Amino acid sequence: MTVKIAPSILSADFAKLGEEVRAIDAAGCDWVHVDVMDGHFVPNITIGPGVVKAIRPHSAKTFDVHLMIEPVDPYIPEFAAAGSDIITVHAEAGAHLHRSLQLIRSLGKKAGVSLNPSTPESVLEYVLDDLDLVLVMSVNPGFGGQAFIESQVEKIRRIKALVGARPIEIEVDGGVNPETAKRCISAGATALVAGSAVFKGGPDAYAANIAALRG
Ligand code: DX5
Ligand code: ZN
């Protein structure tokens, strides 16, 4: 099975987001990863549902929307309506993870849970049948271009065991490059997010950058 590549548009040129989304689509990405930050749950502010809606017509690929916001539930319907396909919330962002996952699925979207580097995989135990994706943060969320945290490779391995035969994607986000990607894939990752490693070198390099991550 080939690993899915989800370029994070956080590293794209924000002045031409539509073009950038078309360029990664043409370069062979599988998903488009959208990092939503609120300056409260994480120390950075990025984009809202209006931007998701604006870039949606630029690619038919899966929009993988990573919500780093707290509270999260009040905003889920808007991100769903904006054209998200997968909506991922942080386990740390609220007391009612099960409720958030049910809300996402009730809107006809795939539901994901993201774990910060210090959060143990045991938080997934009672929601395994309510989710479609686990997003393992291999950096502290907030910024692109940070170094990969090695301890998360073992977490990927443990999540793979926990998931068993369930059809759940295991996605890794942060510091993914052709070298760290190998370890993520062999531990059980089925999807990789990459910002700097995809967007470096400009549009002419995107196809080669994406291919290099597949190993
Ligand atoms: C971090 C974001 C990531 C990040 C990845 O908070 O969720 O998606 O932009 O960027 P790189 O690949 O540069 O670490
Ligand atoms: Zn992300």
Could you give the CA distance from residue 84 to residue 22 in angstroms, rounded to a whole number? 16
Give, using CA atoms, the residue closest to atom 9 of ligand 1: 144
**How many structural domains does the chain have?**
1
- pLDDT reported for residue 167: 98
- pLDDT reported for residue 157: 98
- Is the ipTM value over 0.95, yes or no? yes
**Where is 192: in which H helix or E strand?**
strand 191-194
Residue pair 24/206 in contact (Cβ under 8 Å)? The answer is: yes
201 is annotated as contributing to ligand binding: no
**What CATH number did the domain enclosing 63 receive?**
3.20.20.70
Q: Which of 37, 44, 137, 143 to mutate to test the pocket of ligand 1 (most atoms within 8 A of CB)?
A: 143
Distance 155 CA to ligand 2 centre (A): 17
- Of the bound ligands, which one is closest to the alpha carbon of residue 194? 1
| Residue 35 annotated among the catalytic residues of the structure | yes
Measured in degrees and rounded to the nearest 5, phi and psi for residue 30 equal -95, -45
Greatest CA separation for the chain = 45
Low-confidence ranges of the chain (pLDDT < 70): none
Q: Which of 146, 152, 213 to mutate to test the pocket of ligand 1 (most atoms within 8 A of CB)?
A: 146
| Residue 173 annotated among the catalytic residues of the structure | yes
143 is annotated as contributing to ligand binding: yes
**Where is 79: in which H helix or E strand?**
helix 76-81
- pLDDT reported for residue 215: 85
Tens digits of residue pLDDT in 150-161: 999 999 999 999
Supply the DSSP string of 87-124, one letter for each residue: EEEEGGG-S-HHHHHHHHHHTT-EEEEEE-TTS-GGGG
Ligand 1 nearest-atom number relative to CA 148: 14
How would you class 53 by CB atoms within 10 Å of its CB: exposed for 0-12, middle for 13-18, buried for 19 or more?
A: middle
| Boundaries of domain holding 109 | 4-213
- pLDDT reported for residue 49: 98
